Every structure is written in structure tokens, then in C-alpha cells.
Amino acid sequence: MKIAIVNDLKIALESIKRVVQSNPDYEIIWTAENGEEAVALASTFKPDLILMDLIMPVMNGVKATAEIMKKSPTAILIVTASVGMNSAMVFDAMGHGALDAVSTPVMESPGQVKGGEALLKKIATLEKLFTDKNKKVKNGDVTPGAAADKFLLIGSSTGGPKALSVILSSLKPDPHLSVTIIQHVDAKFAGELAAWLTNQSGHKVKIAEEGETPSGGMVYLAGKDDHLLLDALGRFYYSPEPVEYPYRPSVDVFFNSAIANSRMKGVAVLLTGMGRDGGEGLLNLRKAGWYTIAQDEKTSVVYGMPKAAAELGAAVRILPLEQISKEISNQLLNGIKKNA
């Protein structure tokens, strides 16, 4: 796997290099000290993965991510020591196409690196996404139900935070509507994403907790590295199964868990993202009577997940991002249309 590193701090660059080079299957093909250098290098020597810092001179990691995704789309992992203080920048970068984020490994004497395992695990997970995009998930044996009487399920990945903020900001608060979001994001940043979406949208967004029943007027976000599902009593729970599935938390797993109970109907949406997660789950929801929507190619940062839905015939409508919230509102207000 060919990897590039973008970081202006020599000690951080050295610690990241040591971690990457500990795996003989990883090759560092170039390094850059700022985003401007990274944009130029990415267009000439395209790597499989770029490890991108956020705070840099000349051009920061958010701008560099946006420019690279426009000119020479490449998988980007944010590697930064300042996630807590700059969570808005992390999600802004993810909105432009970064896949995920992880803390920068720290060099400790004598020559030891702390945090290297987390970085290697994240790289391995992303590598698996590149090579295992067609893996399928079977329906779980769960029977969900919930206290709210209207439901909106949303799955998203690359570019998801920005797309989610656009949709939620355009939806009026509804005490009868429960919204659940499955966004591919490391559990360490899920709480920050919930807070960011709350500030961006005006809706109360919280992490879905074990044993909690989805309530009207709330937006729930999957908050662990395990899969989020609904149990037989309509309560959230987390499960490591299926263990081998590369997307964690998985949109397919959650969508499939919302099928068994006929009392639970509503709208399901699949947004921008790499891979095929959510496509089969959206198809199963459509067959079960849900109204299904996929984001179109033009407004997707990465047209992978919604493309899978389109190819499967899983979406009743394929819409640009700015039209999705209006269609959601129309369906929930006028009653879900029957769709074959």
C-alpha cells in the first residue's frame, strides 16, 4: 500500500513514519510539510492513502483535503494531535472527503511511539474497505419497535458530516419523529460529531445508548466502533457481529435491523460515501415498505454507497443533496407512498 504523509512538525512526521514503516506492506512514497505541497504531489504521484494533518502553514488540512478531492481524488485519513480543540475542522475535512480521523502517535524516549497501534488499525480498516467493497451482510434476527410514530434512518460515510448538517438544518423539529444516523466515524470522535451537528442544525443530536428506546423529537448517532441495532423491544444495542464486516458501524446492519416489525415505517436515506455499505439494507427497507432516497452523483463527495443503491434499484428517488430534506418532509407529512 502506497502512503503519503502531510505534517509540518518534524517530530510528528518522524513518529508517523516509524509507525507506517513497521508494516512491511506499507510504502511511504512522499511527505509534505503543508497542504499546498500535498495538493501538487497528489496530482503527480498519487498514493493509495494520504495521512493528513490539520494545522499547517500555507494551506491547512481542510483546504488541502478539499483541493485533493476535486483535482485527484484520493483516500485521506486525518492524523492530528488537536482533535479535541479543533473538532469542527475534523468534521469540515470529513465533509470534503476525508474518510476518518485518528490521533497522531507521540514519540517517547527511548525511541518508543505511543499511539501507533491505533493508527495502524485505522489504516488496516481503510485498506480493507478498498479491497472488500462487495461483501454482503445478512439480515439479523431482530424485531425492532419504537416509541415514536415517524422514523427517519440515514446512512453516510465520506462527506457525510457536511451532508448531514445540510439535511438536518432543513428539517423542522417534530416531536413525533425519531432520527437515527449511522455515520462511518471512529468512536473517539462520535461525541464531538454529535455536538457539532447539534450546533450546525439546531436539532438535539445525541449518542445512541445501550438499552435506549428511540424517542420523538430526537436525533440519535451511532457512537461505538461496534454495529448499532434495534432489539426485539425496539431498544438500541451494540454488537461486534458481523466481526469481519469492514464498515463499523455498518449502515446495512442497522437498516436490516429495522425491517422485522411492521409498526416501524418511515423514510431511509443513503448519502455520500466510499464502498457499498447501505445499498442492500436500503433495498430491503424498500421491499418492506419504507420510502427510500439516495443522494445523486453530482452532489456526492464520493459516489460509492449511493451508487450501490442506485445499481440495486434500492432508491425510490435519487436526489441532489439540497432536495432530500424537502422530500423527507413531504413523505412524513403526507404519509409514506407505496413503492414496488
Q: Which amino acid is at 280?
A: E
Cell of 90: 475534523
Please give the C-alpha separations between residue 98 and each of 34, 251, 274, 311, in angstroms, as whole numbers: 16, 18, 10, 24
Grid cell listed for 17:
513514519
Residue 315 cell numbers, joined: 432508491
Q: How far is CA 196 from CA 27, 95, 123, 159, 324, in A?
A: 35, 12, 25, 15, 21
What distance in Å separates the CA atoms of residue 288 and residue 338, rounded to the nearest whole number? Answer: 10
| Residue 203 annotated among the catalytic residues of the structure | no
Q: How many angstroms separate the first and last alpha carbons of the chain?
A: 43
* Nearby residues of 4 by Cβ (< 8 Å), 6 or more positions away: 28, 29, 30, 31, 32, 38, 41, 42, 45, 47, 49, 50, 51
DSSP code for 229: E
Pairwise CA distance, residues 278 & 256, whole Å: 9
Question: Which listed residue (96, 165, 184, 325) is catalytic?
Answer: 184
User: Considering 92, 186, 231, 277, which one is annotated as catalytic?
Assistant: 277
The CA angle 37-41-45, to the nearest 5 degrees, is 165
User: From start to end of 222-335, where are the E strands?
Assistant: 227-230, 236-239, 266-270, 291-295, 317-319
- Note if 149 is an active site residue: no
List residues bridging with 50 in a β-sheet. 4, 76
Under a CB-based contact definition with an 8 Å cutoff, are residues 189 and 221 in contact? no
Spatial contact of 212 and 235, defined as CB atoms under 8 Å apart: yes
Q: Which of 15, 103, 156, 157 is catalytic?
A: 157
Active site residue 186: no
* Cell numbers representing residue 30 in the block: 512522499
What residues are labeled active site? 157, 184, 277
